[in-house]
């Protein structure tokens, strides 16, 4: 009796909150209104150097504590892995992973998506974001940021310029524990419109100051800093940011459902 009741309520929960649960990966390809133009499924044994730069550098931004070490970035079992560790390295107490497509791939407008399982813990700060190829700032599009001490909260932000001063528009979406399983995170960036998606559901939208310059892609995990605070005794190392794929589409005028 009790088992039947539990099964009933579990199935009811599945029916009313489908976006809470991770979906299996889809094969790469076109979407309605979108043409796939760039992707990496990480099927080899190492990063494709024609697509990615693996960072070996201390960026020293936002009071972060990590050194981005190349050996914390690797490809394994069809995944890109960005590892964060507590270790002494080039004057820093932590190391982590950072990859980007700067100088290798950038695009103005489009749909940008990853499928990933995020690391958690106090002071852990995984992100999927984009910056202009021409080095201007702002703009910046943060497709996904997660504060590791709040693994059910995803930040989505557009940094732009208002009255000739830096400004931003954003939203924090509260959902499941995004460190427990894989989820998709995407942005649809178009003229005068930016929309954010989690597991295929639109979670935020803004028509403000859509950037109009090619952006490159960044995937990284910061350790410490202004936003997440620093690690403490509760933070377990190492932690891992697993990326199943990165895919980019452009609008296909011939099949655009909005036309």
- Please give, one letter per residue, the 3-state secondary structure of 128-152: EEEEECCCCCCCEEEEEEECCCCCC
Query: pLDDT at residue 18 above 60?
Result: no
Tokens 């044994």 locate to 45
pLDDT, tens only, 21-55 = 456 789 999 999 999 999 999 999 999 999 999 99
Q: Decide: 58 and 89 in contact? Cβ < 8 Å.
A: no
The pLDDT > 90 percentage for the chain reads 77
Pick one of 2.60.120.200, 1.10.3720.10, 3.40.50.300, 1.10.630.10 as the CATH number of 31-251.
2.60.120.200
Active-site residue set: 140, 145
Query: pLDDT at residue 203 above 70?
Result: yes
- Reference 118, options 244, 248, 215; nearest CA is 244
Model pLDDT, residue 22? 57
pTM of the model: 0.89
DSSP state of 236: -
3-state secondary structure of 25: coil
The pLDDT > 70 percentage for the chain reads 88
- Long-range (24+ apart) CB contacts under 8 A made by 135-144 are 136/213, 137/166, 138/166, 138/167, 138/168, 139/209, 139/211, 139/213, 141/187, 141/189, 141/194, 141/211, 141/215, 142/170, 143/112, 143/114, 143/185, 143/186, 143/187, 143/196, 144/114, 144/185, 144/198
pLDDT, tens only, 69-124 = 999 999 999 999 999 999 999 999 999 999 999 999 999 999 999 999 999 999 99
Residue 65 to residue 88: CA distance in whole angstroms:
11
Task: For residue 237, give both structure tokens.
Answer: 């190392």
At 255, give phi and psi (nearest 5°).
Answer: -125, 15
* Dihedral sign of CA atoms 47, 81, 92, 60 in order: positive
Tell me the domain boundaries of the chain. Answer: 31-251
DSSP state of 99: E
Model pLDDT, residue 25? 84
pLDDT, tens only, 132-159 = 999 888 999 999 999 999 999 999 999 8
Q: Return mean pLDDT, the chain.
A: 89
């Amino acid at each position: 009796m009790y088992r039947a009741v539990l099964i009933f309520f579990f199935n009811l929960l599945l029916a009313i909150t489908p976006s809470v649960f991770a979906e299996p990966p889809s094969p790469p390809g076109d979407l309605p209104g979108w043409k796939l133009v760039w992707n990496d499924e990480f099927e080899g044994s190492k990063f494709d150097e024609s697509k990615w730069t693996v960072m070996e550098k201390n960026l020293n931004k936002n009071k972060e504590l990590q050194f981005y070490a190349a050996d914390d970035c690797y490809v394994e079992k069809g995944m890109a892995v960005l590892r964060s560790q507590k270790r002494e390295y080039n004057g820093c107490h932590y190391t982590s992973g950072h990859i980007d497509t700067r100088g290798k791939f950038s695009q103005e407008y489009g749909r940008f998506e990853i499928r990933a399982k995020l690391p958690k813990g106090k002071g852990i700060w995984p992100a999927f974001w984009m910056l202009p190829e021409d080095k201007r700032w702002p703009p910046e599009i943060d497709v996904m940021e997660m504060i590791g001490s709040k693994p059910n909260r995803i930040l989505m932000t557009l940094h732009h310029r208002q009255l000739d001063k830096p400004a931003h528009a954003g939203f924090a979406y509260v959902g499941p524990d995004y460190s427990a399983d894989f989820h998709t995170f995407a942005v649809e960036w178009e003229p005068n419109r930016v929309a954010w998606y989690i597991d295929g559901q639109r979670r935020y939208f803004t028509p403000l100051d859509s950037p109009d310059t090619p952006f490159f892609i960044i995937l990284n995990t910061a350790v410490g800093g202004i936003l997440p605070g620093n690690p403490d005794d509760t933070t377990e190392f190492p932690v891992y940011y697993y990326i199943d794929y990165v895919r980019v589409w452009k609008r296909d005028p011939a099949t655009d459902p909005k036309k």
